[in-house]
Amino acid sequence: EDQVTQSPEALRLQEGESSSLNCSYTVSGLRGLFWYRQDPGKGPEFLFTLYSAGEEKEKERLKATLTKKESFLHITAPKPEDSATYLCAVRGQGAQKLVFGQGTRLTINP
Amino acid sequence: NAGVTQTPKFRVLKTGQSMTLLCAQDMNHEYMYWYRQDPGMGLRLIHYSVGEGTTAKGEVPDGYNVSRLKKQNFLLGLESAAPSQTSVYFCASTRRVLWRGYTFGSGTRLTVV
pLDDT in tens, A45-88: 999 999 999 999 999 999 999 999 999 999 999 999 999 999 99
| A5 close to B (CB below 8 A) | no
Q: State the virtual CA torsion across A108, B86, B10, A102 in degrees, nearest 10.
A: 30
Question: Judging by DSSP bridges, how do beta strands A62-66 and A56-59 pair with one another?
Answer: antiparallel
- Which of B45, B104, B105 comes nearest A97 by C-beta? B45
Q: Are B4 and B104 spatial neighbours (Cβ–Cβ below 8 Å)?
A: yes
- Which of B43, B105, B107 comes nearest A100 by C-beta? B43
| A57 close to B (CB below 8 A) | no
Q: Are A20 and A56 spatial neighbours (Cβ–Cβ below 8 Å)?
A: no
- Which of A32, A96, A101 comes nearest B101 by C-beta? A32
* A22, A109, B20 from A17: Cα distances, Å: 17, 10, 45
Helix (H, G, I), strand (E, B) or coil at A93: coil
Q: Are B36 and B91 spatial neighbours (Cβ–Cβ below 8 Å)?
A: no
User: Residues 59 to 78 of A: which have CB under 8 A from any B CB?
Assistant: none
Pick the residue of A30, A35, A50, A96 with the most B CBs within 10 A to test the interface with B by mutation. A96
Question: Judging by DSSP bridges, how do beta strands A70-75 and A19-26 pair with one another?
Answer: antiparallel
| Residue A22's pLDDT band (cuts 50, 70, 90) | very high
Pick the residue of B4, B57, B104 with the most A CBs within 10 A to test the interface with A by mutation. B104
Question: Would the CB atoms of B100 and A49 count as touching at under 8 Å?
Answer: yes
Question: Would the CB atoms of B107 and A32 count as touching at under 8 Å?
Answer: no
Q: How far apart are CA A49 and CA B75, in angstroms?
A: 28
The values of phi and psi at residue B85, to 5°, are: -95, 5
User: Hey, how many other C-beta atoms are within 10 angstroms of the C-beta on B9?
Assistant: 11
Question: Judging by DSSP bridges, how do beta strands B103-104 and B73-78 pair with one another?
Answer: unpaired
Instruction: Provide the shortest C-alpha distance from residue A44 to chain B (in Å).
Output: 6
Least confident of A26-30, A31-35, B4-8, B40-44: B40-44
User: Is the model more confident about B50 or about A94?
Assistant: B50
Q: Which residues of A touch B31 (CB under 8 A)?
A: 96
Q: How far apart are CA B45 and CA B61, in angstroms?
A: 8
The tens digit of pLDDT for each residue in B59-110 reads: 999 999 999 999 999 999 999 999 999 999 999 999 976 567 899 999 999 9
Q: How far apart are CA A71 and CA A33, in angstroms?
A: 8
